């Protein structure tokens, strides 16, 4: 579904991605783990077109998207939950969700999708007239995920959904990510620091270090890998 071939991304003169290759098939949950500054978020931003790749190819459903504008990429069906949630603080929960459906015009279906995300996260329904900025961190993360789902993505990119959340909330969010993947058949690329949690729900995983992918494999085998255990799981 999504394929990156030797993608190199620069911030000015600094090379952030030093030739990344990865592939995601339809219906998978893939996780990208690694330490701070490994280039996980940059990989996501490159896929979204927020930071253009200088070299290499990015293919989505067989189409090259490396040179496209961010809004064109969203229109193709790639939706992003940005790092740090970035909900619209002064808009209400409902308005935030409507923003997620910005490119869609099928009102009836949008209303159904809104009911669907409210069924995933009932707390959002209770707070639907509240401004996004007044929600708690966990609720904001739920809103950010819901907002991304409102675009009906084929591929959902999640950037550190566990960031700054209490362990119980993290568990809830991860259960929901699994559920979204199972019920909607949405393909998910999950970038996480919390390697343990991420590898438990993912099918496959990639380990990044200093702008390179150093290890890849089935999630269960990565969980058992001695290097991964030592470096990222703290075992």
Partner 1 sequence: MKALSEFKKALIISLWFMLLTFPIMVIRVNTIEKVVEWRWRNMAFIGIGSFLLSFVWRYLLGRKEKGRKLAEAGSVEARPFSRRLLDEPRIYRPALAAVTLFAVAFPFLFSSYQTNIMTTALMYVMLGLGLNIVVGLAGLLDLGYVAFYAVGAYSYALLNHHFGLGFWAILPVGALLGVLFGILLGFPVLRLRGDYLAIVTLGFGEIIRLILENWNEFSFGPSGIANIPRPGLFGIQMSLNEATIYLYFLMIALCLFTIFVVNRLQDSRIGRAWIALREDEVACQAMGIDKTKTKLTAFALGATWAGMVGVIFAAKTTFINPASFTFLESAMILSIVVLGGMGSIIGVILGAFILILTPEYLRAFSNYRMLLFGTTMVLMMVFRPQGIVTNVRRIYKFRARGRDGEPSQA
Question: What is the C-alpha to C-alpha distance for residues 127 and 131, in angstroms, rounded to an integer?
Answer: 8
Q: Which of 41, 225 has the CB closer to partner 1?
A: 41
Question: What is the C-alpha to C-alpha distance for residues 41 and 46, in angstroms, rounded to an integer?
Answer: 9
- Our finding on whether 67 is near partner 1 (CB under 8 A) is no
Mapping DSSP to helix (H, G, I), strand (E, B) and coil, where does residue 33 land?
strand
Which one among 3, 8, 57, 95 touches partner 1, defined by CB under 8 A? 95
Q: What's the DSSP call for residue 61?
A: T
Residue among 47, 49, 44, 54 at smallest CA distance from 11: 54
Task: Candidates 14-22, 147-155, 176-184, 225-233: pick the segment binding partner 1 (CB under 8 A).
Answer: 147-155
| Least distance from partner 1 to the Cβ atom of residue 88, Å | 4
Which one among 86, 116, 200, 203 touches partner 1, defined by CB under 8 A? 86
- Our finding on whether 92 is near partner 1 (CB under 8 A) is yes
- Per the structure block, which two tokens stand in for 148? 């991304």
Question: What is the C-alpha to C-alpha distance for residues 69 and 184, in angstroms, rounded to an integer?
Answer: 26
C-alpha to C-alpha distances, 14 to 20, 110, 123, nearest whole angstrom:
15, 42, 43
Q: How many residues bind partner 1 (CB under 8 A)?
A: 35
- Our finding on whether 66 is near partner 1 (CB under 8 A) is no
| Least distance from partner 1 to the Cβ atom of residue 169, Å | 20
CA 210 to chain centre: 20
- Our finding on whether 180 is near partner 1 (CB under 8 A) is no
Mask: binding to partner 1, 113-142, rule CB under 8 A, as x and -? Answer: -xx---------x---xx---x--------
Q: Which of 48, 222 has the CB closer to partner 1?
A: 48
- Our finding on whether 88 is near partner 1 (CB under 8 A) is yes
Contact (CB, 8 A) for 197 and 168: no
Which one among 34, 39, 66, 82 touches partner 1, defined by CB under 8 A? 82
| Least distance from partner 1 to the Cβ atom of residue 172, Å | 22
Cβ-based neighbours of 146, under 8 Å, separated by 6 or more: 97, 100, 117, 120, 121, 124
Question: What is the C-alpha to C-alpha distance for residues 157 and 205, in angstroms, rounded to an integer?
Answer: 14
Q: Which residues bind partner 1 (CB under 8 A)?
A: 48, 50, 69-71, 74-75, 79-82, 86-92, 94-95, 98-100, 102-103, 111, 114-115, 125, 129-130, 134, 147-148, 151
């Amino acid at each position: 579904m999504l394929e990156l071939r030797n993608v190199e991304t620069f911030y000015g003169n600094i090379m952030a991605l030093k030739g990344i290759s990865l592939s995601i098939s339809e219906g998978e949950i893939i996780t990208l783990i690694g330490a701070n500054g490994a280039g996980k978020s940059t990989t996501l931003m490159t896929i979204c077109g927020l930071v253009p790749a200088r070299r290499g190819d990015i293919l989505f459903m067989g189409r090259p998207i490396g040179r496209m504008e961010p809004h064109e990429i969203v229109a193709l069906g790639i939706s992003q939950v940005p790092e740090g949630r970035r909900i619209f603080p002064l808009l209400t929960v409902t308005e935030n969700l409507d923003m997620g459906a910005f490119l869609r015009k099928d009102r009836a279906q949008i209303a159904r999708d809104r009911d669907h995300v409210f069924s995933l996260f009932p707390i959002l329904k209770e707070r639907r007239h509240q401004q996004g900025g007044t929600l708690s961190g966990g609720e904001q993360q739920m809103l950010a995920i819901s907002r991304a789902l409102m675009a009906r993505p084929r591929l959902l990119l999640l950037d550190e959904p566990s960031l700054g959340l209490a362990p119980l909330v993290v568990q809830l969010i991860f259960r929901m990510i699994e559920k979204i993947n199972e019920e909607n058949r949405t393909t998910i690329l999950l970038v996480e620091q919390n390697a343990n949690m991420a590898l438990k729900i993912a099918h496959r995983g990639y380990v990044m270090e200093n702008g390179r992918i150093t290890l890849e494999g089935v999630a269960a085998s990565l969980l058992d890998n001695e290097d991964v255990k030592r470096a990222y799981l703290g075992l």
